[in-house]
Amino acid sequence: MTLASKHTPSAPDIGRPESKWLGPLVLLGPSGIWLALLLVLPTLVILELSFVPGIRPGDVVNPSGLQNYTQIFQPIYLQVIARSLFFAINTTLICLLLGFPVAYWIALIAPSRWRNLLLLCFVLPLWTSSLLRSYAWITILRPTGVLNTLLTSIGLPPLNLLNSGSAVLIGMSYSLLPYMVLILYASLEKLDRRLLEAAADLGAPPSEAFWKVTVPQTLPGIAAGSLLVFITGLGDFVDPELLGGASSMTAARLIYNQFLGATQNWGFGSALSMLLILAVSLAIALLIKYGDSTAQR
Amino acid sequence: MYLPILVLAFYSFNQSAYSASWAGFTLAWYRKFFADERILSALQTSLMVALLAVAIAAVLGTLMTVGLARYHFPGKGLYRGVAYLPLIIPDIAIAVATLVFLAVVAIPLSLWTIVAAHVVFCLAYVAIVVSTRLTGLDSHLEEAALDLGATPAQAFIQVLLPELMPAIVSGCLLAFVLSMDDFLIASFTAGGGVTTLPMEIFSRIRTGVKPDINALSVVLILASGFVAFVAESIRYQGTQKRLK
């Protein structure tokens, strides 16, 4: 009797506090555990490992110094980092210079019913294997490849581009151009055309209107696209490895070698990896700060 | 943009694959490729990894996105930040972290460790596609279902899930293609006997230009082009439906 009277009226109420916790737990718990185990914890482990000098697989972990980080400041490694930055910055510039006109054309000049299709065509190569896209450039750039066959057939001297910095830049720009176009397009599409018309009415020549109206308005898009290309370029492994040859050692290749190559210095590899994460976070922090300042204006 | 891809296609039909000039039409590379057991078994491994990782990521990612949209709790920003981290952090950093972690906790590398690592970035891509769709949805529909006596689970499965389906499918296709393409994370987390397709392709490119890779490229490009087309049309239909 007492039991029944306790139960029946308050049944919905009993369910409530339970479901208040059950919902978030069921929805957010599984992926939370997965991310904690396979993303957060691993990153903390490499942070710890980066303070262990000269560790090899199987060694006892005993954090004891900054030696791995000071090792980075040796001229040979500074050169590697400088080269990674050089590739990433130049790729960003090339993608911006090539991508802006394309995005501008698709967003503002091409007939509107073709726009989605044109954009799709431009982005489609992203869906193909990045290894194969690099491999295609090997076929084009190698000494007996397509480019040199064309050059010699019109009487020009052959170029030896494969295994050089130029080959890496070509490969990386080709891989990352679609991202740049996609982001610039999104930004140019939102451009307020009335401002351009107003500028023309007020007597501004097209070039002045472009620099004073179009560019400032698309600046957040330019910044976002450049950042994405820069970050991806900085961490790119495939293009430098396949197209760059021995002289194009980059940070990502160096990290790869510390873990899977002959070197096997996990501590130093972890330190380099942390540096890469730090560089990426710094770039994002700069964008957020910069993005905010453009939004306030 | 298509020149390099066309070059591969051109060579895949060329009898002499070692010189740039045309030596006659042949399908020999395709025959060789389809008879190559190492490539076929690598393809099988890749498909299995991608299907498992995407299936797990689809379930976890959808639950997570709905959870993030619905609940407010301390540390939510951090949770979201961590979930989207793989979109930004270079693959190599994720690969290194996972390998080191697995070594520290002494889990032997296998096909399953690749799957586990792939789920992490698949989760991020599924979540980002689904959350765009979720913000465009009418939340009243689910509330109405709850008012009419549906349990939260019923409302979720019968009302919300069908609405989110196009986004889930297109997020899955994106994650699937990325998982099939991943070389770095797979090579760090694969055990001795396990080789995915990108790993096999990489080792073949490194050891020299093999003409049957051209045939493989064309087949893969056609396949991923098809997946891209399906994904885009689903996304397109999704946006059309929302506009109505």
pLDDT band at A295; cut points 50, 70, 90? very low
Least confident of A93-102, A242-251, A273-282, B172-181: A242-251
Q: Is A96 a residue whose pLDDT tops 80?
A: yes
Of A40, A136, A237, the CB nearest to B4: A136
Tell me the average pLDDT across B33-38: 75
pLDDT band at A93; cut points 50, 70, 90? very high
> Crossing angle for the helix pair A165-189 and A115-123, nearest 10 degrees?
150
Higher per-residue confidence, A125 vs B59: B59
Q: Is A212 a residue whose pLDDT tops 80?
A: no
Q: Do A259 and B188 touch (CB under 8 A)?
A: yes
Least confident of A55-59, A86-90, A197-201, B221-225: A55-59
C-alpha separations of A77 from A73, A275, A278 in Å: 6, 12, 17
Distance CA B59, CA A34 (A): 12
Q: What is the pLDDT of residue A94?
A: 92
CA distance A15 to chain B (A): 11
Q: Is B122 a residue whose pLDDT tops 70?
A: yes
Tell me the average pLDDT across A174-197: 83
Least confident of A71-75, A206-210, B11-15, B91-95: B11-15
Residues of A with Cβ-Cβ distance to B188 under 8 angstroms: 259-260
Each residue of B53-65: pLDDT tens digit?
898 888 888 888 8
Q: What is the pLDDT of residue B76?
A: 73
Tell me the average pLDDT across A39-56: 70
Residues of A with Cβ-Cβ distance to B93 under 8 angstroms: 43, 235, 273, 276-277
Q: Which of B:152-171 have CB within 8 Å of A?
A: 152
State phi, psi for B14 to the nearest 5 degrees: -90, 130
Q: Is A232 a residue whose pLDDT tops 80?
A: yes
Q: Is A1 a residue whose pLDDT tops 50?
A: no
* Token couple for B244: 């109505």
Tell me the average pLDDT across B41-50: 86
Tell me the average pLDDT across A129-153: 79
Residues of B with Cβ-Cβ distance to A259 under 8 angstroms: 96, 99, 188
Of A125, A128, A259, the CB nearest to B99: A259
Each residue of B184-221: pLDDT tens digit?
888 888 877 788 888 888 888 887 656 677 778 788 77
Q: Do A128 and B220 touch (CB under 8 A)?
A: yes
Contact indicator for B49, B179 with CB cutoff of 8 Å: yes
Tell me the average pLDDT across B42-49: 86
Contact indicator for A140, A146 with CB cutoff of 8 Å: yes
Threshold 0.95, pTM exceeds: no
Q: Is A129 a residue whose pLDDT tops 60?
A: yes
Q: Is A6 a residue whose pLDDT tops 60?
A: no
Each residue of B144-158: pLDDT tens digit?
777 777 777 777 777
Residues of chain B with pLDDT > 70, as a percent, come to 86
Q: Do B90 and A137 touch (CB under 8 A)?
A: no
Least confident of A146-150, A272-276, B99-103: A146-150
Q: Is A87 a residue whose pLDDT tops 50?
A: yes
DSSP percent split of chain B into helix, strand, coil, nearest 5: 75, 0, 20
CA distance A269 to chain B (A): 8
Scanning every residue of chain A, which has its alpha carbon at the shortest distance from the alpha carbon of B200?
A131
* Token couple for B72: 């407010």
Write the single-letter amino acid at A56: R
Q: Which of A:59-98 have CB within 8 Å of B?
A: 61
pLDDT band at A12; cut points 50, 70, 90? very low
Q: What is the pLDDT of residue B241?
A: 56
Distance CA B185, CA B187 (A): 6
C-alpha separations of A191 from A108, A185, A219 in Å: 9, 10, 11
Residue written as tokens 């791995």?
A: A68
Residues of B with Cβ-Cβ distance to A122 under 8 angstroms: 1
pLDDT band at A17; cut points 50, 70, 90? very low
Q: Which of A:222-281 have CB within 8 Å of B?
A: 231-232, 234-238, 242, 252, 255-256, 259-260, 266, 269-270, 273, 276-277, 280
pLDDT band at A11; cut points 50, 70, 90? very low
Beta bridge pairs of residue A231: none
Q: Which of A40, A200, A268, A125 is nearest to B98 (CA)?
A: A40
User: Cα B242 to chain center, whole Å?
Assistant: 25
Per the prediction, chain A carries an average pLDDT of 76
Residues of A with Cβ-Cβ distance to B83 under 8 angstroms: 31, 35
- A152 in reach of chain B (CB within 8 A): no
Residues of A with Cβ-Cβ distance to B1 under 8 angstroms: 121-122, 125, 174, 177-178
Q: Do B90 and A122 touch (CB under 8 A)?
A: no
Write the single-letter amino acid at B119: V
